Structure 1
Amino acid sequence: MSGAGRYAPSPSGDLHLGNLRTAVLAWLFACGTGRDFLLRVEDIDTARSSRESAERQISDLVALGIDFDGEVLYQSSRFCAYESALAQLQDAGYVYECYCSRKDIREASSAPHTTPGMYPGTCRNLTEEQRALRRSQLASQGRVPALRLRSSVSSFTATDYYAGLIEAPIDDVILRRGGNASQGQDWAYNLAVVVDDAYQGIDQVVRGDDLLDQAPTQAYLASLLGLPPVEYVHVPLVLGPTGERLAKRDGAVTLRELGSASSVVRWIGESLGVAGAASLAEIRERFDPAALPREPVVWRG
């Protein structure tokens, strides 16, 4: 099997057990299918990302026994590629400016006949005169509009290893965020991840199943850009004692807090149905994707 798998953390803090377990699963799936395994640091959120955090995350992954092929790719070095992809979509008529604040979107989304969680299309069909006015109003505040995808389909499909064919509504997702004109605008996750997966030759994406619904949108965006589809593998999350997603509030949940890479490896192995494994090499030898428990794992500390 050619191609590659990847793990792509955001460097905004130390990885917790849920992140580490997903990283191990991504490594196992890549190894088990003869793919290369790549690491990408998703540091496009400039306000929350740091190189120090990225280095700590990489150190923790290596301490568990995960190895990577090739150089680490930092998304902060890829802005020209996102500009090029955005220009391609603009030339094809798939981009429009959005002048809404978060409050505007929240209020519009709560109105009758709108789909919860989806952009209600407030700025989609404004006239040129209306756009000029809204653009001017933002400029007077030192701000610039966001750029959204003008989707031409109501739904799209993607393929997942466990869920099979996934069909979901397609939203007019943000491609580049608006904000303070003097600070520059952050690129949005959906555009960056699609462009970088294709650039790195990634055709297998293993990640938490909280992102399952985003797969069709990303598959649709890839199709508009003429990029090859990927196979998704969405895996169960790790939950805290209260049943919510694992977080710092649940106590010692990072490798550095727990202090022992070997104990974390054993716990991850048990959660994957490989009890008693002393190393990732042993987990790899015994791991069966078909036997992966499909329910979320609860960390009780």
Structure 2
Amino acid sequence: MPAPAPYRGRFAPSPTGPLHLGSLVAALGSWLMARRSGGEWRLRVEDLDPPREVAGAAQAQIRALAAFGLRHDGEVEYQSTRGAHYAAALGRLLDAGDAFECHCSRADVAGQGGVHRHCVAGARRADPAVRLRVPDGCVIAFDDALHGQVAQDVATAVGDIVLRRADGLWAYQLAVVVDDAAQGITDVVRGADLLDSTPRQILLQQRLGLSTPRYAHLPLVVDASGHKLSKALAASPVDAAAPLPALALAWRILGQDPDAVATATGPAGFLDCALATFDVTRIPRGPVRLPAAMHNTPVAHRD
């Protein structure tokens, strides 16, 4: 039996704004899990959706990560440069009959309960989407390092999966699968908001003949109402000029011992202490509520 590939993780933010606390938790958690395994930590900018992107956000996020001491290996990957690779993968799926053009409108899909199972007869449009064909009874199960076994009936929960949108933009699900394989990613550590996306990504990996990485989904940071922090505090970036308070808060959200990093005097020292004491078994499985006093306070302080 061949030896397992060396650990290679990644962090893949979307350039829709500055780095916020939820993103920092995902970055710190994935960095710690990569480094404690003696592995690499790659950085990928998921700039697939120009209408949602903020000018300069990608470079600001990269600078912020460096200020927090979270330095990546290799060159930064930009999804906006990889359209030819996505097109090649899509061509293979079309040639195999695993993908098809879909002329349905959003209203057509809404009429099916929001889950595409068949195209509306006679529907035609100049700009069809392309979907992955998902057969009835298609159940995908996997073992998540934090959540245990997760199973999803992709046909009933998701339906036929969009691979290229009607506006011509590449869908996240296809791009992330192609890029994880191309970068040799062995372990995907990310927020639990993407837990439900994992079965459809595994299905795509199977259809494309790609290996499936290991997965771990970190707790989401939510406000007092249970809303995802990235939506509630989108305008409250972490303060890269004063990194220790935000790192300490992210460390606590990951369920780790605050005393282990209490004497750190800078990002490098903090990460040394964190790496020496990091305990995966302490990571919460459910969402973590941000203390109420912090809801409207930027912490000199994200699928």
* TM-score (normalised: structure 2): 0.85
Aligned to 2:185: 202
Divergent runs of 4+, >3 A:
247-253
Q: Is the CA contact (8 Å cut-off) linking 1:63 and 1:261 kept in structure 2?
A: yes
Q: 1:229 and 1:100, CA in 2 relative to 1: closer, same or farther beyond 3 A?
A: same
Q: Does 1:285 align with 2:267?
A: no
Q: Distance in 1 between matches of 2:242 and 2:145?
A: 32
For 1:292, give the aligned amino acid. Answer: I
Which of 32, 43, 49 does residue 47 from structure 2 map onto?
43
What is the deviation of 1:231?
Answer: 0.4
Aligned to 2:169: 186
For 1:281, give the aligned amino acid. Answer: D
What is the deviation of 1:9?
Answer: 0.5
Task: Give the paired residue count.
Answer: 274
Which of 102, 106, 109 does residue 106 from structure 2 map onto?
102
Over residues 28-56 of structure 1, what are the superposed CA-to-partner deviations in whole Å (9 max), with x where a residue is unaligned? 11111222100000001121225611001
CA root-mean-square deviation: 1.9
Q: Is the CA contact (8 Å cut-off) linking 1:240 and 1:247 kept in structure 2?
A: no
Q: 1:251 and 1:222, CA in 2 relative to 1: closer, same or farther beyond 3 A?
A: closer
Aligned to 2:144: 160
Over residues 225-248 of structure 1, what are the superposed CA-to-partner deviations in whole Å (9 max), with x where a residue is unaligned? 110111010111001132211146
Over residues 17-76 of structure 1, what are the superposed CA-to-partner deviations in whole Å (9 max), with x where a residue is unaligned? 011111100001111122210000000112122561100111111111101100000001
For 1:159, give the aligned amino acid. Answer: D
Aligned to 1:264: 246
Aligned to 1:213: 196
Q: Distance in 2 between matches of 1:49 and 1:198?
A: 25
Q: 1:51 and 1:251, CA in 2 relative to 1: closer, same or farther beyond 3 A?
A: closer
Aligned to 2:267: none
Aligned to 2:207: 224
Q: Is the CA contact (8 Å cut-off) linking 2:20 and 2:234 kept in structure 1?
A: no
For 1:12, give the aligned amino acid. Answer: T
What is the deviation of 1:15?
Answer: 1.9
Which of 29, 35, 39 does residue 33 from structure 2 map onto?
29
Q: Distance in 1 between matches of 2:176 and 2:225?
A: 31
Over residues 208-239 of structure 1, what are the superposed CA-to-partner deviations in whole Å (9 max), with x where a residue is unaligned? 11211211111111011110111010111001
Identity across the alignment (%): 41
Q: 1:251 and 1:228, CA in 2 relative to 1: closer, same or farther beyond 3 A?
A: closer
For 2:257, give the aligned amino acid. Answer: V
Q: Is the CA contact (8 Å cut-off) linking 2:140 and 2:151 kept in structure 1?
A: yes
For 1:191, give the aligned amino acid. Answer: L
Aligned to 2:160: 172
For 1:268, give the aligned amino acid. Answer: A
Q: Is the CA contact (8 Å cut-off) linking 2:147 and 2:285 kept in structure 1?
A: no
Aligned to 1:2: 6
Q: Is the CA contact (8 Å cut-off) linking 2:46 and 2:79 kept in structure 1?
A: yes
Q: Is the CA contact (8 Å cut-off) linking 1:96 and 1:148 kept in structure 2?
A: yes
Q: Is the CA contact (8 Å cut-off) linking 2:7 and 2:39 kept in structure 1?
A: yes
Q: Is the CA contact (8 Å cut-off) linking 1:175 and 1:188 kept in structure 2?
A: yes
**Aligned to 1:108, what secondary structure does the other structure show?**
coil
* TM-score (normalised: structure 1): 0.85
